[in-house]
Structure 1
């Protein structure tokens, strides 16, 4: 197996925000070239990077470019948008709440799983009221998927919201969605479910009187819009969303006179919060009166959910108040250089300046991003989420509801889905001792293995794997070495890019 840039890295202390940018990373690598032991010297006496060094720089830049840019959290699950326009999910799926393809009522994922069919996404949103998801594509179209009802017997697959166009951002409420259009206006539409749980949408309707809007938020029963001039407006959708209404007729927006100089607003079950241009947060009462919220902090983002409140300071630190994920009030220890936050009902998540995801709080369903080390399923010190791994087989991206998982001395592959793409057969029989023996057949070769056993057999040859095959969330997963040694496939694991490539050498 070819291992690309997985063991040797150079750790450099970075000072100042400029050093944290992608440009700074490129410059640092360029500087590293000039002192590198493998540089070549051109005729003019200047050091020239080798092809290997150029490849290393390209991979480093691409790795940074594949970081997460937005993250959302709800009741024991998380979704995140990566800078390449793909969307990933992890956490609980007992009722199909992750909205993966088909009837997928397994307990939870163990690592991020990529949604099939979503590409070129620029914005994501969890509608916590209706338990489904919204995504905006670069072309301005809106897409929806997720849980259809509380029974969990099925999920609504990915579909486009008809009539929604030119959209920049979205928000959702109980039975309705809100769209901020690229031209600064706002539209809304209803959602209905029939007896089978199938979704249908009302015709998008403009919210008259709103223009130059920069942000929208939902609350029950009101929706909110922040204008470019810093004013905040509220209105109420009045069509009953579940009685077959085809259109939504919003009330006229009303200005909240107590608010000015506002940059963003958060509406959730714990209340309505606003953030102003000076980085100060305000709590908004039902009558519109405001009250300073933790004025000692200078903030750049607020996130709330079910009485839990997260605050992100301009210094990149995170503070938690209310019903917190760990029961503690104040600064969340272990988080620095954070650029985005999201509060779930029982857990919190964040993205740092390198695009890495962090999680803490309730984690019995891996909603924080990885396995818990405590028996109570809690994560009190934020943990780095497991990597979001893309797998390619003979050049084709592997679409699977089960993740490819780096763990221990290997990378695990969900073998049933991989076998389908490769065109191999997979059978299982019980041996005399009652163990299930799996056999993979590919072209002229075959390999037999057992879950939990490091030894595998190819033909008459027995070989040992670095890690045993395992089962997670209903999927049988094998170490990549089984495919290499047992079936002669070529495998490359690029840790920097979180990318596993499997190919048939005879096709290369």
Structure 2
């Protein structure tokens, strides 16, 4: 939902051979190109350009034309041109290879960007632009970057999370954020937004009640504010009320709320970036409700923070204040997503999910919670 690199932790015990990434276990699932996790639903794009969703569906967030929950992946339409997908709390947005952007699900904050507040149970096109490059779906606001490196946001704006210079009005269609033309990435949290620029600077705006903007204060901002003076930021991930980011030297930094250890350290909230451990091999981090997961250059995956539903994947439900390794596999890619349930992609294109499963969001045909990764099979 809400993405970059952490330190040492305990290795998960009690995993099956498949969960440990045994070389004797072949993936039965079609290859997955990207995955996104909402509050209780999941969507994935296959390497064949098909789109699949599963889990809770009360607002139509699965995009299959119904409001029926699904415990197994269901295909969204018949298009084979989907390129990437992002999932918000109760909605999703995805980009096609032709550069068009489509959203569906809950729309009570105008987060679908179609000019209305009407829920949609099938993908609805956002405007007529054909230059969308990336999209991030948050709680009730959405942001995207176009191929000209301009940044656009829409939806709820109560805390200034749209970055338009005001917190007075929601936006029912995309509104441009400042005049910069060098945005490299964007990530949306519950009520704040962060992004990196091609010059390596990091910017955040919106709610800062827990220091999640990283600017040293608890004051919210209605337009982008630079985080420190560093010009070496390579990626950023916004969680519920915290943020984590990776630098080009592959060090990991987090700031904001820390009640469950989601910053990867012990102690209170932090209003400025704090380094997580001394490891310098982090490649990407992803942040969710109150937990984080990150991949290292050796292909290992590490998670920390809230573990109430087993979302850290270490075989327990114990909260972790430092990165804890997920099994022994060294084939995890940068494609992971974090929430009360987590999913990640391996180098063979296999998709694995774990954590909360009350609505079938793990895609295994059950509603059984899992504290270690289980493979998800997309229908052929």
Answer yes or no: same fold by TM over 0.5.
Answer: yes
Of the two structures, which has the highest relative contact order with CA contacts closer than 8 Å and spacing of 6 or more?
Answer: 2
Q: How many residues align?
A: 301
Number of the residue aligned with 1:233:
203
Pick aligned residue for 1:293 from 267, 270, 276: 276
Matches within 5 A, 1:424-463: none
Question: In 2 relative to 1, CA 257–136 (structure 1 residues): closer, same or farther, beyond 3 Å?
Answer: same
| Cα drift, residue 173 of structure 1 | 4.0
Pick aligned residue for 2:255 from 276, 284, 303: 284
- The reply on whether 1:205 has 2:182 as its aligned counterpart is no
**Cα distance in 2 between the residues matched to 1:317 and 1:84:** 26
Are 1:210 and 1:253, in contact at CA under 8 Å, matched by a contact in 2? no
**Cα distance in 2 between the residues matched to 1:189 and 1:312:** 30
- The reply on whether 1:219 has 2:186 as its aligned counterpart is no
TM-score (norm 1): 0.53
**Cα distance in 1 between the residues matched to 2:336 and 2:370:** 16
Q: Could you list the runs of 5+ residues in structure 2 that have no partner in the other structure?
A: 1-21, 110-117, 158-169, 208-220, 257-268
Number of the residue aligned with 2:327:
333
**Cα distance in 2 between the residues matched to 1:370 and 1:173:** 25
- The reply on whether 1:368 has 2:362 as its aligned counterpart is yes
| Cα drift, residue 143 of structure 1 | 0.5
- The reply on whether 1:167 has 2:132 as its aligned counterpart is yes
Question: In 2 relative to 1, CA 365–202 (structure 1 residues): closer, same or farther, beyond 3 Å?
Answer: closer
Superimposed CA distance per residue, residues 9-61 of structure 1 (whole angstroms, 9 cap, x where no aligned partner) = xxx979xxxxxxxxxxxxxxxxxxxxxxxxxxxxxxxxxxxxxxxxxxxxx9x
Number of the residue aligned with 2:351:
357
**Cα distance in 1 between the residues matched to 2:371 and 2:34:** 23
- The reply on whether 1:146 has 2:137 as its aligned counterpart is no
Number of the residue aligned with 1:433:
none
SS of aligned partner of 2:103? strand
Number of the residue aligned with 1:71:
35
Number of the residue aligned with 1:456:
none
Question: In 2 relative to 1, CA 201–143 (structure 1 residues): closer, same or farther, beyond 3 Å?
Answer: farther
- The reply on whether 1:133 has 2:92 as its aligned counterpart is yes
Matches within 5 A, 1:38-49: none
Q: Could you list the runs of 5+ residues in structure 1 that have no partner in the other structure?
A: 1-11, 15-59, 193-199, 238-249, 390-497, 499-508
| Cα drift, residue 357 of structure 1 | 0.3
SS of aligned partner of 1:260? coil
- The reply on whether 1:253 has 2:224 as its aligned counterpart is yes
Pick aligned residue for 1:183 from 148, 162, 176: 148
SS of aligned partner of 1:202? strand
Superimposed CA distance per residue, residues 283-308 of structure 1 (whole angstroms, 9 cap, x where no aligned partner) = 13498521011333621121111111
**Cα distance in 2 between the residues matched to 1:189 and 1:163:** 15
Question: In 2 relative to 1, CA 156–367 (structure 1 residues): closer, same or farther, beyond 3 Å?
Answer: closer
RMSD (Å), alpha carbons: 3.3
Are 1:80 and 1:89, in contact at CA under 8 Å, matched by a contact in 2? yes
Question: In 2 relative to 1, CA 323–159 (structure 1 residues): closer, same or farther, beyond 3 Å?
Answer: same
Larger Rg belongs to = 1
| Cα drift, residue 341 of structure 1 | 4.3
**Cα distance in 1 between the residues matched to 2:305 and 2:206:** 27
If each structure's helix is expressed as a fraction of its own residues, which one has the higher value?
1
Number of the residue aligned with 1:122:
83
**Cα distance in 1 between the residues matched to 2:74 and 2:270:** 43
Number of the residue aligned with 2:341:
347
TM-score (norm 2): 0.70
Are 2:283 and 2:334, in contact at CA under 8 Å, matched by a contact in 1? no
Pick aligned residue for 2:74 from 104, 113, 117: 113
**Cα distance in 1 between the residues matched to 2:177 and 2:108:** 28
SS of aligned partner of 2:124? strand
Number of the residue aligned with 1:101:
64
Question: In 2 relative to 1, CA 284–191 (structure 1 residues): closer, same or farther, beyond 3 Å?
Answer: closer
**Cα distance in 1 between the residues matched to 2:141 and 2:340:** 25
**Cα distance in 1 between the residues matched to 2:44 and 2:347:** 15
Question: In 2 relative to 1, CA 344–334 (structure 1 residues): closer, same or farther, beyond 3 Å?
Answer: same
Question: In 2 relative to 1, CA 207–235 (structure 1 residues): closer, same or farther, beyond 3 Å?
Answer: same
Superimposed CA distance per residue, residues 107-143 of structure 1 (whole angstroms, 9 cap, x where no aligned partner) = x32x221100543122211122xx2111111222110
Are 2:245 and 2:254, in contact at CA under 8 Å, matched by a contact in 1? yes
| Cα drift, residue 74 of structure 1 | 2.2
Number of the residue aligned with 1:80:
44
SS of aligned partner of 1:101? coil
**Cα distance in 2 between the residues matched to 1:358 and 1:251:** 37
| Cα drift, residue 268 of structure 1 | 1.4
Are 1:99 and 1:156, in contact at CA under 8 Å, matched by a contact in 2? yes
Superimposed CA distance per residue, residues 416-446 of structure 1 (whole angstroms, 9 cap, x where no aligned partner) = xxxxxxxxxxxxxxxxxxxxxxxxxxxxxxx
Superimposed CA distance per residue, residues 217-265 of structure 1 (whole angstroms, 9 cap, x where no aligned partner) = 123543222011210123449xxxxxxxxxxxx9543322244311111
Question: In 2 relative to 1, CA 122–176 (structure 1 residues): closer, same or farther, beyond 3 Å?
Answer: same
Number of the residue aligned with 1:377:
368
